[in-house]
Structure 1
Amino acid sequence: MTDNGRELDLVIYGATGFVGRLLADYLARHSPDGIRIGLAGRSQTKLEATRSVLGARAADWPIVIADADDAVALAELASRTKVVATTVGPYAKYGTEIVAACVAAGTDYVDLTGEVLFVRESIDAHHEKARANGVRIVHSCGYDSIPSDLGVHVLHQKVQADGAGELTDTTLVASLSGGVSGGTIDSLRTQIDVSRKDAALRRLAASPYSLSPDRTKEPDLGRQSDVVVMDSADIAPETRGWKAPFVMASYNTRVVRRSNALRGWAYGRKFKYREVMSVGDSRLSRLFAGGVAAVLGGLVLGLSVPPTRYVLDRILPSPGEGPSEKTQSNGYFAMDIYTTTTTGARYASRVKAQGDPGYRATAVLLGESALSLVLDRDRLPDEAGVLTPATALGDVLVDRLSKAGVEISARKL
Structure 2
Amino acid sequence: MSDSSNKYDVVVFGATSFAGQLVCEYYLANYGASPPTFKWAVAARSESKLTALKERLASEIDSAASTLPTIVADSLDDEAVGGMVSQAKVIITTVGPYAHYGSKVVAACSAAGVHCCDLTGESLWVKGLIDKHHEEAERTGAKIVPSCGFDSIPADLGTLMMVEYMKRTHGLSPDDVRYYFGASKGGVSGGTIASVLDIFEQVWSGGKAITSKLADPLLLTATPGFGKAADPGGLGYDSLAKSWTASSVFASHDSKIVFRSAGLLGYPETFRYKEVMGFKGLLKGFLPAVFSTIAFGIGGFLMVIPVTRKFIAKKFLPAPGEGPSKELRDSGYFWINFLASGRSGDGKDVVCRGKVGSDKGDCGYKETAKMLAECGLCLALDDLEYKKGGVLTTASAMGMPLVDRLNKAGMTFKILDE
Q: TM-score, normalised by structure 1?
A: 0.92
Alpha-carbon shift at residue 411 of structure 1 (Å): 4.2
Q: Which runs of 5+ in 1 are unaligned?
A: none
Q: Mean Cα displacement is larger for which, 62-71 or 126-135?
A: 62-71
CA RMSD after TM alignment: 1.9
Verify the 8 A CA contact 2:18 2:191 in the aligned structure 1: no
Tell me the amino acid that sits aligned with residue 201 of structure 1: I
**Which residue matches 2:50?**
47
**Which residue matches 1:72?**
79
**Which residue matches 2:236?**
230
Alpha-carbon shift at residue 282 of structure 1 (Å): 7.6
Deviations 1:121-141 (A, max 9, x none): 111110000000011001111
Alpha-carbon shift at residue 194 of structure 1 (Å): 2.3
**Which residue matches 2:275?**
275
From 93, 113, 120, the counterpart of 2:127 = 120
Q: 1:171 to 1:76 in 2, by over 3 A?
A: same
Answering whether residue 374 of structure 2 is matched by residue 372 of structure 1, we say no
**Which residue matches 1:345?**
350
Q: Secondary structure at the match of 2:175?
A: strand
Matches within 5 A, 1:123-138: 123-138=130-145
Tell me the amino acid that sits aligned with residue 191 of structure 1: I
**Which residue matches 1:202?**
211
Q: 1:371 to 1:122 in 2, by over 3 A?
A: same
Q: Secondary structure at the match of 2:67?
A: coil
Q: 1:297 to 1:185 in 2, by over 3 A?
A: farther
**Aligned partners of 1:385, 1:53: CA distance in 2, in Å?**
37
Verify the 8 A CA contact 2:226 2:272 in the aligned structure 1: no
- Identity across matched positions, percent: 36
Tell me the amino acid that sits aligned with residue 158 of structure 1: Y
Q: 1:263 to 1:361 in 2, by over 3 A?
A: same
From 199, 221, 245, the counterpart of 1:191 = 199
From 382, 386, 411, the counterpart of 1:381 = 386
Deviations 1:48-71 (A, max 9, x none): 111112223322211111112111
**Aligned partners of 1:379, 1:339: CA distance in 2, in Å?**
25
**Which residue matches 1:254?**
256
Q: Secondary structure at the match of 2:341?
A: strand
**Which residue matches 1:63?**
70
Tell me the amino acid that sits aligned with residue 365 of structure 1: M
**Aligned partners of 2:293, 2:78: CA distance in 1, in Å?**
41
Matches within 5 A, 1:81-230: 81-175=88-182, 176-198=184-206, 199-214=208-223, 217-221=224-228, 224-230=230-236
Q: 1:306 to 1:122 in 2, by over 3 A?
A: same
Tell me the amino acid that sits aligned with residue 39 of structure 1: V
Alpha-carbon shift at residue 163 of structure 1 (Å): 2.9
Verify the 8 A CA contact 2:90 2:376 in the aligned structure 1: yes
Tell me the amino acid that sits aligned with residue 245 of structure 2: K
**Aligned partners of 2:318, 2:283: CA distance in 1, in Å?**
32
Alpha-carbon shift at residue 306 of structure 1 (Å): 2.2
Q: 1:256 to 1:138 in 2, by over 3 A?
A: same
Deviations 1:49-102 (A, max 9, x none): 111122233222111111121111111110111110011111111111111011
**Aligned partners of 2:106, 2:341: CA distance in 1, in Å?**
38
**Which residue matches 1:319?**
320
Tell me the amino acid that sits aligned with residue 46 of structure 2: S
**Aligned partners of 2:248, 2:281: CA distance in 1, in Å?**
16
**Which residue matches 2:41?**
38
Q: Mean Cα displacement is larger for which, 311-320 or 322-331?
A: 311-320
Aligned length: 402
Answering whether residue 10 of structure 2 is matched by residue 10 of structure 1, we say yes
Verify the 8 A CA contact 1:36 1:61 in the aligned structure 2: no
Q: Secondary structure at the match of 1:244?
A: strand
**Which residue matches 2:308?**
308
Q: TM-score, normalised by structure 2?
A: 0.91
Q: Mean Cα displacement is larger for which, 144-153 or 284-293?
A: 284-293
**Aligned partners of 1:328, 1:288: CA distance in 2, in Å?**
24
**Aligned partners of 2:19, 2:176: CA distance in 1, in Å?**
35
Q: Which runs of 5+ in 2 are unaligned?
A: none
**Aligned partners of 1:371, 1:187: CA distance in 2, in Å?**
25
**Aligned partners of 1:143, 1:78: CA distance in 2, in Å?**
25
